[in-house]
Homo-oligomer: A and B are copies of this chain.
Amino acid sequence: VAPEIMAAILAANNDTAPSYGADAASTRLGALFADLFECQVRVFPVVSGTAANALALACLTPPWGTIYCHDTAHIVVDECGAPEFFTGGARLVTLAGVDGRLVAADLEAALAVAGAGNVHHMQPAAVSITQASELGTVYRPAEVAAIAEVCRRHAVRLHMDGSRFANALARLGGSPADLTWRVGVEALSFGATKNGALAAEAVVFFDPLLAATFAYRQKRGGHLLAKTRFISAQLEAYLKDDLWLRHARHANDMAARFVAGLKPLRGVQLLYPVEGNEIFLRLPAAAFAALQAAGFAADPWDETGLVRFVTAFDTDPADLDALLAALAGALAGALDGALGGSA
């Protein structure tokens, strides 16, 4: 947790306050996010990205609706069916896309044969895209706009899982509005937890009508906290003086530094363009083992030698350089081993 945010939590404890979101900080969130996004919004603070996504999607899709997303989307891979639970049984339909991003043409093709209006089939209801994507790439505004155009044509809603929204904006520049409602996003899970908050995400609706049932869903989901002001305080500190963007820029910069450091190394494959703070590599098993032996707590992403590295708001360049050095050694050792093995 970033010190500025921890300080805000402490400061929020200075007196008693109305509970369940009627406090001053929570009340200020509406104006704060309206300023941030340059439009009227409805905004709801919650404690987890899974809750943010599932509650948002439940406002956009009926129980017999389908939600289209990328194969790797957090909502389909890592939330144990939260979208299905909160929607009352909607279905996630996955598309392959490119480098972790949905492609408008694929979506168009899927929606064209989805059977809208035919009671035998589940009904197309929503699309969810992840910004930055799960593979560390970033949607350009025009890509989002193209997807939104397909959505409009098929009368489905567009949700953005922005658990790494800060990293995307830090990369692309422009304003938050340029990445969201101006290109057709209707609801956003605005993440802070992965970028320095303790536990704070904001669900932002750009069309207030879509938010009509949110508060009931939130409460019956156990996600309306008595002491909501401590979530709101985190969000205020997160946005204050562009803390969120500074943090995201640092994380992105560290990722870029890591990629630069990889350049001279042989035996390692960079799998996707690094546009945010995630780097996916394919490493020889021996190199990976050597890294772990050297004390780096890297986790394998899957069984194929794919390893994910994530830089953070507080990544120390010296630690990064030490990792690069260790990686260089591990790769050299693995290469030797492989040559030796084949000798």
Contacts and interface: CB of A to CB of B under 8 A. Distances in A.
A293 interface: no
Interface string A57-77: 000001110000000000001
A173 interface: no
Given A223-B48, A226-B199, A227-B199, A90 B82 contact: no
B225 A48 contact: yes
A62 B1 CA distance: 36
A91 B223 CA distance: 20
Contacts of A9: 6, 9, 198
A81 B85 contact: no
B193 A227 contact: yes
A220 B53 CA distance: 11
A80 B216 contact: yes
A119 B227 contact: no
Interface in A74-104: 77-82, 84-86, 88-92
Interface string A206-223: 000000010111111111
Interface of A: 1, 6, 9-10, 13, 20, 46-52, 54-55, 62-64, 77-82, 84-86, 88-92, 113, 119-123, 193-194, 198-199, 213, 215-227, 230, 302-303
7 contacts: A47-B47, A47-B225, A51-B221, A84-B220, A85-B221, A119-B215, A119-B218
